[in-house]
A and B are shown apart, each in its own frame.
Chain A
Amino acid sequence: GAVVSQHPSWVICKSGTSVKIECRSLDFQATTMFWYRQFPKQSLMLMATSNEGSKATYEQGVEKDKFLINHASLTLSTLTVTSAHPEDSSFYICSARDLRTPDEQYFGPGTRLTVT
C-alpha cells in the first residue's frame, strides 16, 4: 500500500514552453502533497506544500507564478513549470501524506525534466 506515482517519468521540452507533471496517490487519500526539486549531486529541496482545495504554500525563493501547483482532488496534485528554461532542468519529486497515517510521507519515483 501507500504508493505514489508520477507522470511522466521523464520529459524533454523546449525553452519557453510549459510542462505539467502529475502526482497521484494510488491507494490512499492525501490531503497534503509536497513538491521537491533535486539538482544533480544535491539533496532534495522542498518547493511547496499543496493542500487539497486550497492554494499551495511555497518555500522562500520559489516563484509561485513559475511553478503552478494545483491540488484539485485527494489523489492528484499537478506541478506546471511555466516558460521553462534550461536552468529548470532537474529531478522533480512529489510526496503525499496519507490521511490515515499523517506521521508518514510517501514519495513518488520522480520526474526528470530536461529543457533544451
Chain B
Amino acid sequence: DAKTTQPTSMDCAEGRAANLPCNHSTISGNEYVYWYRQIHSQGPQYIIHGLKNNETNEMASLIITEDRKSSTLILPHATLRDTAVYYCIVRALGNQFYFGTGTSLTVIP
C-alpha cells in the first residue's frame, strides 16, 4: 500500500473549519484514501473514505485532487471534542490498514 505524509500537528480555532492535508504521491489506481481519528487512549474511529470523487458525510468532507496524489479532510465546524490524532491511510480493498504517524489536531477554545 502507498505511504502517506501528514503534518505532525495542527491547531484550529473552535467553530472554524479544520483542513487536514495528506500527501500520497505513490497511490495506485485501485487504492482508496481512508481517514480515521484516535482520541487519547481510545480505539481509532472511522471518519470517511473515497477513491477519486469528493465525499461528504455527517462528520467530514474528503477532497481528493484530480491526480489523486493528495487529499484534504475537512471538519466544517471544529469542536473541542474533535481534538485527536487524525490518520490518513491509503489502502486497496481487502488489504490491511497500516497506520502512519498522523496529524495531532488541537482545537483551541
**Could you list which residues of chain A lie within 8 angstroms of chain B, going by C-beta atoms?**
4, 6, 34, 36, 43-46, 49, 91, 93, 95, 102-110, 112
Contacts and interface: CB of A to CB of B under 8 A. Distances in A.
Contacts, number: 46
Interface string B62-79: 000000000000000000
B42 interface: yes
A46 B97 contact: yes
B15 interface: no
Given A43-B87, A43-B102, A110 B97 contact: no
B96 interface: yes
Interface of B: 32, 36, 38, 41-46, 49, 87, 93-94, 96-102
Q: When A and B form their complex, which 7 residue pairs have the shortest distance between CB atoms, in order from nearest?
A: A107-B43, A44-B99, A43-B99, A107-B44, A109-B43, A110-B43, A108-B43
Given A106-B46, A107-B43, 11 more contacts: A4-B43, A43-B87, A44-B44, A45-B99, A46-B96, A93-B44, A102-B93, A103-B32, A108-B43, A109-B42, A109-B43
Contact of B96 (A6, A34, A102): A34
Contact of A103 (B36, B87, B93, B102): B93
B101 A105 contact: no
5 contacts: A43-B101, A49-B96, A95-B44, A103-B32, A107-B45
Contacts of B102: 43
Name the residue among B41, B96, B99 with the largest chain A CB count within 10 angstroms: B96
Given A43-B87, A43-B102, A95 B97 contact: yes
Contacts of B46: 104-107
Given A43-B99, A43-B101, A102 B94 contact: yes
